[in-house]
Amino acid sequence: MTTHKTSTTETPLTLAALGIVYGDIGTSPLYTLKVAMAGVDSPESGHVLGLLSLLFWLIMLVVTIKYVTLVLRADNRGEGGTLALLELALRGVQGQRRALLVIVGLAGACLFYGDSMITPAISVLSAIEGLHLVSPAFDDLVIPLALLVLAGLFLMQVRGTAAVGRLFGPVMLLWFIALAVLGGWRISQFPQVLAALNPWYALQFVAQAPWQVYVLLGALVLAVTGSEALYADMGHLGRRAVQRAWLWVALPALVLCYFGQGALVLSDPAALQNPFFSLAPEPLLVPMVVLATLATIIASQAVISGAFSVTRQAIQLGYWPRMTIKHTSDSTQGQVYLPRVNLLLFTAVVVLVLVFQGSEKLANAYGFANAGAMLVTAILAFFVLPARVSGIWKPVLISVLVLLLLLDLLLFSSTAFKIHQGGWVPLLVGGVLLALMVTWNTGTRKVRSLLATEQQPLQGFMQALEHYPPVRVPGTAIFMNVVPDAVPAAFLHNLKHNKVLHEQTVFLTLASADVPYVALQESFSVTRLTPNSWQLVGHWGFKQEPDVPRFLAQVSMLHPELDLEPMRVSYFLSRQSIIVPASTVFYKALPKRLYALMARNADRSTRFYRIPPNSVVEMGMQLEL
């Protein structure tokens, strides 16, 4: 009975993993061999077999060994992704080493945004370009159709992916079946191509043309795009479901498809024009274009949702200003929609489609973004994985990680040759976002340091105030406090101008933890300062949403002495206006002015913390950086 129950729960999760995790890497056959074999007029057997052998072993080393076997074990309480891995790597690390790790981790997250821009553009374009094989007359419709599909995809984000998500798994299963069947059919017509499974062909290819192979790696890296999704989406489905979906379905289907394309090219060099769609017989071309378009929409949906998730994590961890976050599912906490991010991504994708005009040209930019993100993961894994093993396995693991890091360095450096051909796009986007993240984090810590310096110790102040208490008024006042153990400016302003105290006073400090989820019993601490005042510190995981009213309701259940009835609670907040003195030197003033601009455009605290606006008293103050 146990076995049957386990199998019935594993199958839906495995199917879901195909839709959520493997859309990106599953659509790579649309363009990988086409780009890798670009410019080859009459491919020789040795060239094709060597390329296929390299491709196969690259997939095995990068996806199967690095991600599926090793990196999935570097989970932060079940959650994955660059920022989750960064938080694990930073534990116990201080000084310059910590600062360097932060920059590396943030760079990986910023490159992911480049991936989120390029994936929808290249995937949808490559699918619709298959219409050329139906009739060249469709060529002029490729760009308009791609923009139409992309517009529908981004408009759909506001409704969430819950309803559409149920179709993702079955559609991707059908897609992988199509890849396997078409690839297997072409292999049966030219079975000699299976010799490329032997790594000797890859080694021989490297020995004969080392420089050509090195440059070729910049194209072959497209076959492992989407590897980061294996790790980033682990929290939704669990490690085992992600591993099963890869080993049982995705890996065999991809290998059959790539080798089928190779067999077709060897038997018919004219197939180089579009080796993927040439796999299908003519009557199946239009259905394959439709299925490919659906698959690329799913692949695009995965990275768009990933961009929302990464942005939310960055906000919670203090690397990005507050933004409007809307939940699109009542049952699944991870399904969120960020209107600003959606609009910016859509604008960027449209610009990429109009500028590059084709998937082949976009491939250069795509490879650079993915290779950079994979290199960052390899570096951070060095600080996490070895600490989780002991004995003889530790040096073995370190040796494997060194080899994988060298491979990632090769892949990244080979894509660097493509910077002038499109790789500058994710590099520019990543550089700008990295500068903004560092500016926001540095500025926020500076503001908190200034507030801590200027404010008085909280407990001593409240105890002194008990000796000469002002007039008390009914209800509970909650003062949002950025710096714990210090008197907030809003409290002083209230005393100065209103000259009253509420019956109960609560000083509330909210902080993000370095774990994805915090249990209720660990989410807050209450310290009684005086008979009528308390300090309350709340903690949220970086994948949880702060909801102050709901949080206070939970606190009141465990601490009935606190009167937190919503109709009797008033919230007092300080709103800082950042001032940069005109006399500040330009190069020092620039990051300060940038921080001030970001602070002005950040979402208001009341909206971010879901505090009812009609219960808020906001007091302004100026702070000079």
Q: Greatest CA separation found in the chain?
A: 94
Q: What pLDDT was estimated at residue 1?
A: 35
Helix (H), strand (E), coil (C) string for 534-585: EEEEEEECCCCCCCHHHHHHHHHHHCCCCCCCHHHEEEEEEEEEEECCCCCC
pLDDT above 90 as % of the chain: 24
Q: How confident is the model at residue 186 (pLDDT cuts 50, 70, 90)?
A: very high
Global confidence as pTM: 0.83
Q: How confident is the model at residue 202 (pLDDT cuts 50, 70, 90)?
A: very high
Determine the average pLDDT of the residues in 547-560.
89
Instruction: Give yes or no for residue 511 having a pLDDT over 70.
Output: yes
Q: What's the pLDDT tens digit per position in 58-114?
A: 999 999 999 999 988 887 777 777 888 888 888 877 778 888 888 988 888 888 888
Determine the average pLDDT of the residues in 116-120.
86
Sheet containing 524-530: order of strands: 524-530, 533-540, 500-512, 471-480, 569-579, 616-624
Determine the average pLDDT of the residues in 353-382.
85
Q: Exposed, middle or buried by CB within 10 Å (0-12, 13-18, 19+), for 405?
A: middle
Q: What pLDDT was estimated at residue 9?
A: 56
Determine the average pLDDT of the residues in 233-252.
85
Contacts of 568 (CB under 8 A, 6+ apart): 474, 475, 476
Q: What pLDDT was estimated at residue 173?
A: 92
Q: What pLDDT was estimated at residue 177?
A: 95
Q: Among 8-12, 175-179, 225-229, 318-322, name the one with the lowest average pLDDT.
A: 8-12
Instruction: Give yes or no for residue 39 having a pLDDT over 70.
Output: no
In the chain the domains, ranked by start, together with CATH numbers, are 10-442 (1.20.1740.10), 457-624 (no CATH)
Instruction: Name the phi and psi angles at 280, rounded to 5.
Output: -85, 140
Determine the average pLDDT of the residues in 275-295.
89
Q: Which residue has the higher pLDDT, 401 or 622?
A: 401
In order, the DSSP letters of 474-541 are EEEEEEE-SSTTB--HHHHHHHHHH-EEEEEEEEEEEEE-SSS---GGGSEEEEEEETTEEEEEEEE-
Q: What pLDDT was estimated at residue 328?
A: 64
Q: How confident is the model at residue 3 (pLDDT cuts 50, 70, 90)?
A: very low
Q: What pLDDT was estimated at residue 330?
A: 54
**CA nearest to 414, candidates 112, 35, 9, 14:** 35
Distance CA 194, CA 182 (A): 15
Q: What pLDDT was estimated at residue 403?
A: 94
Distance CA 208, CA 212 (A): 9
Instruction: Give yes or no for residue 171 having a pLDDT over 70.
Output: yes
Q: What's the pLDDT tens digit per position in 375-409?
A: 999 999 888 888 888 888 889 999 999 999 999 99
Instruction: Give yes or no for residue 572 having a pLDDT over 70.
Output: yes
Determine the average pLDDT of the residues in 468-492.
87
Report the chain's mean pLDDT, rounded to a whole number.
84
Contacts of 299 (CB under 8 A, 6+ apart): 23, 24, 26, 27, 119, 123, 226
Instruction: Give yes or no for residue 281 having a pLDDT over 50.
Output: yes
Contacts of 472 (CB under 8 A, 6+ apart): 500, 501, 502, 503
Determine the average pLDDT of the residues in 112-137.
82
Q: Which residue has the higher pLDDT, 517 or 161?
A: 517
pLDDT above 70 as % of the chain: 95
Q: What pLDDT was estimated at residue 7?
A: 47
Q: What pLDDT was estimated at residue 5?
A: 39
Instruction: Give yes or no for residue 331 having a pLDDT over 70.
Output: no
Contact (CB, 8 A) for 279 and 182: yes
Determine the average pLDDT of the residues in 366-371.
84
Q: How confident is the model at residue 182 (pLDDT cuts 50, 70, 90)?
A: very high
Instruction: Give yes or no for residue 547 having a pLDDT over 50.
Output: yes
Instruction: Name the phi and psi angles at 511, rounded to 5.
Output: -140, 150
Instruction: Give yes or no for residue 183 having a pLDDT over 90.
Output: yes
